[in-house]
Chains A and B, each alone.
Chain A
Amino acid sequence: MEDYKFLFKVVLVGNAGVGKTCLVRRFTQGLFPPGQGATIGVDFMIKTVEVDGEKVKLQIWDTAGQERFRSITQSYYRSAHALILVYDISCQPTFDCLPDWLREIEEYANNKVLRILVGNKTDREDREIPRHIGSDFAQRHGMYFLETSAKEAENVERLFMEIALELMEQAKCKELPKYDGSLGPINGKTTSVGDSSCCNRS
C-alpha cells in the first residue's frame, strides 16, 4: 500500500567487494547471499520501515565499486539524501581509498547529504582497521560511523533505521537540504508521480 509518510534515497558507495550489495540484501531481504557477484552499474532496492510509528520508504541505490562504472554511479549521488560509504575492515586498501571517495562525494553529491561511514565484515578474524581508526576518520570528516557484518546481520538493521530516523527528523525540522530547482522537490515529492499521497514537507 502506498501509505508511507517519507521517501528517502540512500546510495551506497565504496570499493568493489566491501560488501555493499550484501548489506542491502541483508537489510531488504534478510539474507546473506552466497557467492554474491560484483554489481554492474547500479542496483535498486526498496524497503519501507516504520520509525516512530510512521512509515518511511527507503529507495536504496547500490552502486558498483568497480572503477569503470564510476561515471554512471556518480550520477546517482546527486539526488541522494544519505550516502553510505563502506569499507572492509579486513582490507586496508579499501580504507585507504576513503579520501578519494570523499572527494567524489564532495564533487557530485549535495553538500548537505547525510554521510555515514561503515566498516563492514566485523565477523572476520583478520581485521586490519581497528575500530577507533575508522571512527576517528568518520569524526574528522563529519560522518556518522558504524561497524557492521552483513554476514552475521550485525548492525545492518540499525544502520538503515538510524538513517531513516535521522532523515525523518531533518525533514520534520525542515532541515532537509534544499536542492536547486532543477532537481525538483526533494523529500517525499522527489518523484512526484510515485508519491503524491505522501505527506512530504507538511
Chain B
Amino acid sequence: MSVFLMIRVFHMTTGWQVGCCGCCSALRPRYKRLVDNIFPASPQDGLVKTNMEKLMFYSLSSPEKLDRIGEYLFQKVSRDIYRRRHGYVIIAAEAMDQLLLACHAQTLNLFVESFLKMVQKLLESTDPQLQILATQSFVRFANIEEDTPSYHRRYDFFVSKFSSMCHSNHSDKKMRDRIRLAGIQGLQGVIRKTVSDDLVENIWEAQHMDKIVPSLLYNIQTAEKYITVECLEPESSEVEEPSRLAEACLRELVGRASFGHIRSVLRPVLTHFDRHELWVPNDFAVHVFKIIMYSIQAQYSYSVVEALMLHLESRAGCGAGAGGVRAARANVLTHIVAIAAGDSVGPSVLEIINNLLTNLRTSVDRDSDKDEKLYQEALINALGEFSDHLPDFQKIDIMMFIVSKIPQQRGKGSKQDETLQTILLKSLLKVGLTYRTTELNRAFPFAFLESLLRLSQSSSPRTRELLQRILHTLLDRHDNATRLASPEINYSQLGLSVEKCSRSDLIFINKHGFAIYSSLYEGLQLESNRVSNMSSIYTSAALLCCEVASDESAPDLLQLILSIQNSALTNPVLTRAQKCQLHAIVISLLALLPHCMHLPRLAEYAQKIIENRREEAYELLPPLREDYGDVQSPNKLPYLMVDQMTVIECVAAHGVDTSRLSAPSPYGAGARRPPAKHSWIEAGATQGRDSLADITAGGAAELDSGNSSPQAARCSPCLEPLDDEYMKFYDRYNRGLRTTMQSFGLYHQNNTEAISLESLRRAAGGPTEAERREAERKRGELNNTFRTRPFDQLLHATMPKYELKEKLEEIFNSISECPLLPAASPNKPPALDTYFPELFMY
C-alpha cells in the first residue's frame, strides 16, 4: 500500500512535468504521447522504464483510455513488424504485457482485444523470434483469471497456429525445439483459458481437438525414451524438452475432461495411432494410454478402456496386418486395464469383461492365423490383468460370467464352438489364477461349481484338461499344485504344505464333496483321456486331499480311491494303458492321504503295495506313460491291489469312522445318496446336540416307510425345505451319474475274473443285507440331522451376496447364443447322457 502511494506521488509530479514541457506534442492526445515516450531512441536501450511507469499510472487512473492505448500500441507493433524493426516490436510487446498484468479485472476487456490482435500479428510473422515472443505474451494472458470471460472471443486462429508451430520443421534443431515448445505452451494457454467454460470457446469440439491432440502426441513421441510415471513432477525451471511439456499438457487436458469430453480427446488419439501406424510396435501407444489413464479423473477411466475396446476391431490404420494391429491394440489394453480396475465399479466391470468376451468370439469366427492367435492371447491377458486388480468377490462373479458364456456342446459341436470353449476356459483359468482362495465355499458358489463340474464331462479332452486346471488353481491354497502335477509315490521329499481343514471347508466338502468326487471319478472313465487328462484329475484329487483331509472326509476320499481301482478293473472301454494309469493314480492317492493326516498304518499299507508293485508290476506305479509296451494286461493279483478291508482296518485303527467305507461304493452300482452328508451327524453328536437315541429312532422310522420307492423320492421331501438349492444340485448330478453307474453295474456283474474276495463279493452281489441296513440307518440319521441342525451356516455357505447379481442375471438372460444350463428339473433329460454315448453300448 505504502509503496503504491509513493509511486503515485512520484508519478503525479513527473506527470505534471511532462504536461508542462511537452508543448510541441501538445496536439497529440496525451495517451499517444505517453505511449511514444516508452520507446527509446535506439531499440537496444530497451523499454524506457520511468516512462513506462508513467504510462501504467495513467492507464490505471484513466481506465477508460485503456482501449485506445491498446489500439495505439497495436498499430505501432504492426508498423514495426512491417518495417522489420524487431527491437521496437519487442519493446511494444513488453509494454503490452505489463499493461495487461496491471489491468484490473473490470477494465481488462477493454484492453484484451488489442492485446490479442498484437499476439496474432506477431504469430503471423515468419520470424520465429516474434512467434515465440507472441506465445510468451499469450501465455501471460492465459494465466490471468478473468471474472467475466468474453464470450465473443474466438481462439481458432491460435489453436491452428500453435498446432502448426508444434510441427515446426525449422532447419536449426535448437530453433525448431523452441518453436515447438512455444506451440505447446500456446496450446496449453488456450486450454487453460477455455477449458472451464464451454461458452467461451468449446475447446472440446472436434475442430480443436483434432489439432491439439495430434500436435501433443507428435511431440511426446519425440522423447528419446518413454518412461511412464503416474504423476509428472512439477518442473522447477522452464521445461526444455518439447516431449515433456507436451506430456504435461496432455495430462492437463485429460485431467480436465469431464465425462462428455473424454471421447473428444480419445477419438483423435486413436486416429493418430492409426494414421501414424503406431500400434506395431506399441511401446509409444502404451506410454500414451498409460499417461491418459494416470491423468484422467478416476471415475472416467472406464471410458478409456471402453474406447480402446471398441477400437480393437477397427480396420483403420491396419494396412495388411490387421491381425497384428488388433493384437497390439489388445496388448495396450492389457497395460491399462489394471489401472482402470481399481476405479471400476459395478456394471462397468462386467461391461469390460463382456466386451472382451465379445471380441474373443468375433476373433474365433474369423479364420485363425498366427496373428489372430496372438490377438486372442492378448485379449485373454487383458482379461486376466483386469481381474487381477479386482477384489476377489468380483473375480468369482467374472468367472461365473465367463462360464455362462461357454457354449455347451451337444453332440458334435462345431469347430468354432470348440475353439471358443477352449478360449473361454483359458480366460477362466486366467482369471482363476488371480483369485486367492480362502474358503472353498467362497471360491465355489453353488452355480459356479455346478457349471464347472458340468464342463468337466465335456467330450473334448482339451476342455476337460483346462477345466481341471481351473479346479487346481481354485483348490490349491498352499501352492501344492506344481508339486502334485503328476502321480507320485514319494511325497516326503516334495515339501507339501498341509493345514488342518477348517470348519467351513468341512461344511463345504460335506455338502459338495460327493458331486466333486463323482465328477473326478467319471472324468477318469473316458475313453478319450490322454495322460494329461489323467494327471490333471489326479492333481485335483490330490489337492483335495491336501485341502480337506480330516477324519470326517477321509472315508469319502478313500471311497473314491477304491472306486477308481474298481473301475480300472472293470471298465471295458478303457485301454490297457488307461487301466495302468488308473492303478498308478490309485496308489499315488493312497500314499498321499496319510501324508495329509495322521494315518501311519495306512501309510505302511500303501508302502507295502508299492514295494510289491515295484517287484512285480512296475506298470501299476507312476509315472504315467502313454505306452506300456510289453505289458499285456495290468497285473491284477490281489496283493498288488488295494484291498478294501485292509484299508478299513488301517484307518479304523486311527479312529476314522469306517461305516461308509464298508458300504457299497456310491460310484458303483450302489446306493444313491449323498454319503458325505451324514458326517454332520458325527459333528453334531460329538457336540452333544443330537442324542444317539434320536438318530437311531429317526433311522428306524425311515426304515419302516416303504422300501420299494426310489430312495431319492424319500430323501427329497425331508431335504428340500432345508436346502432346496442343494437338492437340485444333488438331483441333477445323481440323475446324470446314475445312468452311467448302472451301465457299470451291468458289466460289473458279468465280470467273472476274481480280483479279491471283497471286490468279487461286491461285484457279484451288490451290497449285503447288513450293508443295506446300515445304509438305511444312515439315511435316517441324515434326515434327522437335517431337521435339527442350524440352517444359517449352510444358508450362508450357499448364498453368497453378489453385488453384481442383478447385472449378471440381466446379461445371462440376454445371452441367447449360448443357452444357460436348463433349470434343474426332473423332466429334462440329463445333459450328461449325451456325453457318454459309448457307455450305452453295453
- Using a CB–CB distance below 8 Å, which chain A residues touch chain B? 1-2, 28-29, 37-46, 59, 61, 64, 67-72, 74-76, 78-79, 182-184, 190-196
Establish whether residues A184 and B275, one from each chain, have CB atoms under 8 Å apart when the complex forms. Answer: no
Binds A, one of B210-218, B449-457, B558-566, B582-590: B210-218
Establish whether residues A2 and B271, one from each chain, have CB atoms under 8 Å apart when the complex forms. Answer: no
Q: Which 5 A-B pairs have the closest CB atoms?
A: A41-B167, A75-B210, A191-B157, A193-B116, A194-B120
A74 and B209 alpha carbons, distance in the complex (Å):
12
Establish whether residues A193 and B275, one from each chain, have CB atoms under 8 Å apart when the complex forms. Answer: no
Q: Which residue of B lies closest to A37 (CB)?
A: B169
In the complex, chain A residues whose CB is within 8 Å of the CB of B164: 41-44, 61
Q: Which residue of A lies closest to B82 (CB)?
A: A1
- Asked whether B532 is an interface residue with its Cβ less than 8 Å from the other chain, the reply is no
A40 and B205 alpha carbons, distance in the complex (Å):
23
Establish whether residues A79 and B156, one from each chain, have CB atoms under 8 Å apart when the complex forms. Answer: yes
Contacts A71-B268, A76-B160; is A45 near B126 (CB within 8 Å)? yes
Q: Which residue of A lies closest to B125 (CB)?
A: A46
A42 and B120 alpha carbons, distance in the complex (Å):
17
- Asked whether B735 is an interface residue with its Cβ less than 8 Å from the other chain, the reply is no
- Asked whether B796 is an interface residue with its Cβ less than 8 Å from the other chain, the reply is no
Q: How near does chain A come to B193, taking the closest CB pair, in angstroms? A: 12
- Asked whether B111 is an interface residue with its Cβ less than 8 Å from the other chain, the reply is no
Binds A, one of B71-79, B436-444, B701-709: B71-79
In the complex, chain A residues whose CB is within 8 Å of the CB of B276: 68
19 contacts between A and B (CB under 8 A): A1-B82, A2-B121, A37-B171, A39-B169, A40-B167, A41-B218, A42-B167, A44-B124, A70-B275, A71-B214, A72-B167, A75-B211, A76-B211, A182-B205, A184-B154, A191-B120, A193-B117, A194-B120, A196-B117
How many interface residues does chain B have, given as a range?
35 or more
Establish whether residues A46 and B124, one from each chain, have CB atoms under 8 Å apart when the complex forms. Answer: yes
In the complex, chain A residues whose CB is within 8 Å of the CB of B202: 182
In the complex, chain A residues whose CB is within 8 Å of the CB of B169: 37-40, 43
In the complex, chain B residues whose CB is within 8 Å of the CB of A41: 163-164, 166-167, 214-215, 218
In the complex, chain B residues whose CB is within 8 Å of the CB of A71: 210, 214, 268, 271-272, 275
In the complex, chain A residues whose CB is within 8 Å of the CB of B355: none
- Asked whether B277 is an interface residue with its Cβ less than 8 Å from the other chain, the reply is yes
Contacts A2-B78, A69-B275; is A194 near B116 (CB within 8 Å)? yes
A183 and B205 alpha carbons, distance in the complex (Å):
10
In the complex, chain B residues whose CB is within 8 Å of the CB of A70: 275
In the complex, chain A residues whose CB is within 8 Å of the CB of B124: 44, 46, 59
Establish whether residues A79 and B154, one from each chain, have CB atoms under 8 Å apart when the complex forms. Answer: no
In the complex, chain B residues whose CB is within 8 Å of the CB of A76: 160, 211
Q: How near does chain B come to A173, taking the closest CB pair, in angstroms? A: 25
Contacts A1-B82, A41-B166, A75-B207; is A192 near B214 (CB within 8 Å)? no
Could you tell me which residues of chain B, from 467 to 481, have a CB within 8 Å of some CB in chain A? Answer: none
In the complex, chain A residues whose CB is within 8 Å of the CB of B163: 41-42, 72
Additional 9 contacts, C-beta under 8 A, given A41-B164, A71-B268: A42-B163, A61-B160, A75-B206, A79-B156, A79-B207, A192-B154, A193-B117, A193-B120, A194-B157
Q: Which residue of B lies closest to A185 (CB)?
A: B154
A64 and B215 alpha carbons, distance in the complex (Å):
13
A78 and B160 alpha carbons, distance in the complex (Å):
12
Establish whether residues B117 and A2, one from each chain, have CB atoms under 8 Å apart when the complex forms. Answer: yes
Q: Which residue of B lies closest to A64 (CB)?
A: B167
Q: How near does chain A come to B99, taking the closest CB pair, in angstroms? A: 17
Q: Which residue of B lies closest to A193 (CB)?
A: B116
In the complex, chain A residues whose CB is within 8 Å of the CB of B167: 40-42, 64, 69, 72
Contacts A1-B82, A40-B169, A75-B211; is A192 near B153 (CB within 8 Å)? yes
A42 and B202 alpha carbons, distance in the complex (Å):
22
Could you tell me which residues of chain B, from 263 to 281, have a CB within 8 Å of some CB in chain A? Answer: 268, 271-272, 275-277
Q: How near does chain B come to A34, taking the closest CB pair, in angstroms? A: 12
In the complex, chain B residues whose CB is within 8 Å of the CB of A78: 207
- Asked whether B527 is an interface residue with its Cβ less than 8 Å from the other chain, the reply is no
Chain A interface secondary structure, helix, strand, loop or mixed?
mixed
A198 and B156 alpha carbons, distance in the complex (Å):
18
Q: Which residue of A lies closest to B169 (CB)?
A: A40
Chain B interface secondary structure, helix, strand, loop or mixed?
helix
In the complex, chain B residues whose CB is within 8 Å of the CB of A59: 124, 157
A29 and B126 alpha carbons, distance in the complex (Å):
10
Contacts A42-B167, A44-B161; is A72 near B78 (CB within 8 Å)? no
Establish whether residues A194 and B275, one from each chain, have CB atoms under 8 Å apart when the complex forms. Answer: no
Q: How near does chain A come to B533, taking the closest CB pair, in angstroms? A: 52
- Asked whether B152 is an interface residue with its Cβ less than 8 Å from the other chain, the reply is yes
Find A44's partner among B153, B160, B171 (CB 8 Å cutoff). Answer: B160
In the complex, chain A residues whose CB is within 8 Å of the CB of B82: 1
Q: How near does chain A come to B246, taking the closest CB pair, in angstroms? A: 13
In the complex, chain B residues whose CB is within 8 Å of the CB of A79: 156, 160, 207
Establish whether residues B156 and A184, one from each chain, have CB atoms under 8 Å apart when the complex forms. Answer: yes
Q: How near does chain A come to B139, taking the closest CB pair, in angstroms? A: 16
Q: How near does chain A come to B536, taking the closest CB pair, in angstroms? A: 50
A195 and B120 alpha carbons, distance in the complex (Å):
10
A196 and B75 alpha carbons, distance in the complex (Å):
13
- Asked whether B377 is an interface residue with its Cβ less than 8 Å from the other chain, the reply is no
A46 and B126 alpha carbons, distance in the complex (Å):
8
- Asked whether B36 is an interface residue with its Cβ less than 8 Å from the other chain, the reply is no
A76 and B210 alpha carbons, distance in the complex (Å):
9
Establish whether residues A193 and B210, one from each chain, have CB atoms under 8 Å apart when the complex forms. Answer: no
Establish whether residues B113 and A196, one from each chain, have CB atoms under 8 Å apart when the complex forms. Answer: yes
Establish whether residues A190 and B207, one from each chain, have CB atoms under 8 Å apart when the complex forms. Answer: no
Q: Which residue of A lies closest to B208 (CB)?
A: A75
In the complex, chain B residues whose CB is within 8 Å of the CB of A68: 275-277
Q: How near does chain A come to B137, taking the closest CB pair, in angstroms? A: 13
A190 and B277 alpha carbons, distance in the complex (Å):
34
* Most chain A beta-carbon neighbours within 10 Å: one of B79, B124, B155: B124
Q: How near does chain B come to A109, taking the closest CB pair, in angstroms? A: 12
Contact with A along B94-138 (1 / 0, CB 8 A): 000000000000000000010011001100101000000000000
In the complex, chain B residues whose CB is within 8 Å of the CB of A46: 124
Establish whether residues B166 and A192, one from each chain, have CB atoms under 8 Å apart when the complex forms. Answer: no
Q: How near does chain A come to B379, taking the closest CB pair, in angstroms? A: 27
Q: How near does chain A come to B274, taking the closest CB pair, in angstroms? A: 8
Contacts A2-B78, A68-B277, A71-B268; is A193 near B214 (CB within 8 Å)? no
Find A192's partner among B121, B152, B168, B218 (CB 8 Å cutoff). Answer: B152
A163 and B121 alpha carbons, distance in the complex (Å):
23
In the complex, chain B residues whose CB is within 8 Å of the CB of A184: 154, 156
Q: Which residue of A lies closest to B126 (CB)?
A: A45
Q: Which residue of B lies closest to A75 (CB)?
A: B210
Establish whether residues B154 and A193, one from each chain, have CB atoms under 8 Å apart when the complex forms. Answer: yes
A111 and B430 alpha carbons, distance in the complex (Å):
53
A193 and B157 alpha carbons, distance in the complex (Å):
9
Find A194's partner among B117, B152, B277 (CB 8 Å cutoff). Answer: B117
Q: Which residue of A lies closest to B213 (CB)?
A: A72
In the complex, chain B residues whose CB is within 8 Å of the CB of A193: 113, 116-117, 120, 153-155, 157
Q: Which residue of B lies closest to A78 (CB)?
A: B207
Establish whether residues B210 and A72, one from each chain, have CB atoms under 8 Å apart when the complex forms. Answer: yes
Establish whether residues B210 and A74, one from each chain, have CB atoms under 8 Å apart when the complex forms. Answer: yes
In the complex, chain A residues whose CB is within 8 Å of the CB of B120: 191, 193-194
A184 and B156 alpha carbons, distance in the complex (Å):
9
Q: How near does chain B come to A23, taking the closest CB pair, in angstroms? A: 16
Q: Which residue of B lies closest to A74 (CB)?
A: B210
Q: How near does chain A come to B373, taking the closest CB pair, in angstroms? A: 29
Q: How near does chain B come to A18, taking the closest CB pair, in angstroms? A: 17
In the complex, chain B residues whose CB is within 8 Å of the CB of A64: 167
Q: Which residue of A lies closest to B274 (CB)?
A: A71
A78 and B74 alpha carbons, distance in the complex (Å):
29
Q: Which residue of B lies closest to A39 (CB)?
A: B169
Establish whether residues A1 and B214, one from each chain, have CB atoms under 8 Å apart when the complex forms. Answer: no
A96 and B116 alpha carbons, distance in the complex (Å):
43
Q: Which residue of B lies closest to A189 (CB)?
A: B154
In the complex, chain A residues whose CB is within 8 Å of the CB of B75: 1-2
Q: How near does chain B come to A81, taking the closest CB pair, in angstroms? A: 14
* Most chain B beta-carbon neighbours within 10 Å: one of A46, A69, A194, A195: A194
In the complex, chain A residues whose CB is within 8 Å of the CB of B271: 71
